[in-house]
Amino acid sequence: MKIRPGKYFVILLLLLCSVEVKAFPRPMQRGSSPVEPVQIQRILQSVQRRYAPDLQLAVFSVSWAQEGRTIILRGELDNPHAKSALIQAIQKRIKGIVLDSIRLLPDAALGGNTRGIIDRSVVNIRRNPGQHEELLTQALMGTVVNLLKEKDGYLFVQTPDRYLGWLESGSVFVTNEDGIKNWDSAAKVIVTKFAGTVLTRTDPASEMVCEIIDGCLLKNNGRKNGWLSVELADGRTGFVPDSIVQDLDAWRMSRQPTGDNLEHTARSFLGIRYLWGGMSVKGMDCSGFVKTVFHLNGVELNRDAQQQALQGVPVEPGENFLNLKKGDLLFFGRKATAKKRGRITHVGLYLEHGLYIHSSKRVRLSSFNPSSEYYEEPLLNRFLFARRIL
């Protein structure tokens, strides 16, 4: 069939118009356009403040981009409620499309195996995957952790105190909810000596299965001639002298968090080296030391000094610190000025008569009393406030 030249012009014009509409979407009408970047940022900050005010305890890593009428959200969250709240808040501000590309943790790639049990005496948990990355905290053998994702031989985990970080994949027994139920229901013992070993036989000269330290948890498989048959989370078995462990339930029932007991526990750590992020007899930072002392007396504190400063009740020290009681927490740092906010940088445990114990260089004694051999004026000048836990 013949087509007249005029028809070619009409067809060409229609094609050009069609291409133009696809390449350059029609501007959205006033009131329906995506919000300004600062508005999106305010929404992100608002939702984060509500669901993840402390990023050491919750995952909230979200970015956004605009493509035409679409707002694309990318990143990671560990709370489905935070995800819903974020999407709904943005949808209220625009009439375009919100494309959800946020990954919700635990990562689906882990399948159902999103729980783990530490199976080394103590495991380092770092800010990023890698042997030389910053040490954030530690977890002891038998501790149950949540697994969130895996990368380069490391697992991103959350500890029972909600602390987040990376540990080596080989240092944790990976399991599921059923595995945790079995572990939780099993009879266990807690190591009550600084250090020891699990051996292959009831013979001090036998080969070692693994090392253990104060606070480690093991399955109790029964006693035999002064020895205890034990099992690790990963199924390894062995024996320990029953003099270095206690039945976990009996140990928990025996905890009496008094000032004297806190002092006794704290003094048992004198001389242990300072280790940033440390929370074991192999090394402790200031807040790790305080947390461990309270934990071994049946009281759970938060991990960081800044978090611990929110626990308990404030107490006015009084003249010469006479209002303080044994076991009160002492916080040190930079005092607030008209130009700068105050900042907590250190925590210690008060004993009596101005004497306190803390981890700085090592676990050691210091005093507010100028006549004491332990007096440290620089620390006195940095003292901020006290909190009472007991």
Within 8 A by CB and 6+ apart from 325, the residues are 259, 315, 350, 388, 390
Within 8 A by CB and 6+ apart from 285, the residues are 274, 275, 276, 277, 278, 279, 359
User: Which of the 8 DSSP states describes residue 283?
Assistant: E
Query: Do 109-183 and 186-254 fold alike per CATH?
Result: yes
Q: One of 210, 295, 346, 353 is an active-site residue; which one?
A: 346
- Joined together, the tokens standing for residue 40 give 């999106």
Q: What does pTM read for this prediction?
A: 0.87
* Under 8 Å between Cβ of 291 and 279: yes
In angstroms, the CA 40 to CA 47 distance is 11
User: What would the CATH number be for the domain defined by 37-105?
Assistant: 3.30.70
| Four-residue CA torsion sign, 379, 383, 387, 390 | positive
Q: What is the pLDDT of residue 338?
A: 87
Q: What is the pLDDT of residue 37?
A: 82
- Each domain of the chain, given as residue ranges in start order, spans 37-105, 109-183, 186-254, 259-388
Superfamily of domain 186-254: SH3 Domains (2.30.30.40)
In angstroms, the CA 257 to CA 327 distance is 9
| Four-residue CA torsion sign, 16, 19, 23, 24 | positive
Q: Give residue for tokens 């380092």.
A: 124
* Under 8 Å between Cβ of 376 and 325: no
Catalytic residue flag (residue 286): yes
* Under 8 Å between Cβ of 305 and 382: no
In angstroms, the CA 195 to CA 243 distance is 12
Which of 373, 349, 371 minimizes the C-alpha distance to 360?
349
DSSP 35-97: PPHHHHHHHHHHHHHHH-SSTTTS-EEEEEEEETTEEEEEEEES-HHHHHHHHHHHHTT-SSE
Q: One of 210, 216, 264, 286 is an active-site residue; which one?
A: 286
Q: Are strands 208-213 and 217-224 parallel, antiparallel or unpaired?
A: unpaired
The residues pairing with 230 across neighbouring beta strands, listed in sequence order, are 220, 238
Domain 109-183 has CATH 2.30.30.40: yes
Q: What is the pLDDT of residue 353?
A: 96
Domain 259-388 has CATH 3.90.1720.10: yes
SS3 at position 259: helix
Distance of CA 375 to the CA centre of its chain: 34
- Joined together, the tokens standing for residue 364 give 């050691």
pLDDT in tens, the chain (390 residues): 444 444 443 333 333 333 333 222 333 444 445 457 888 999 999 999 999 999 999 999 999 998 888 899 999 999 999 999 999 999 888 877 899 999 999 999 999 999 999 999 999 999 999 999 999 999 999 999 999 999 999 999 999 999 999 999 999 999 999 999 999 999 999 999 999 999 999 999 999 999 999 999 999 999 988 999 999 999 999 999 999 999 999 999 999 999 999 999 999 999 999 999 999 999 999 999 999 999 999 999 999 999 999 999 999 999 999 999 999 999 999 998 888 999 999 999 999 999 999 999 999 999 999 999 999 999 999 999 999 999
In angstroms, the CA 387 to CA 329 distance is 5
Catalytic residue flag (residue 264): no
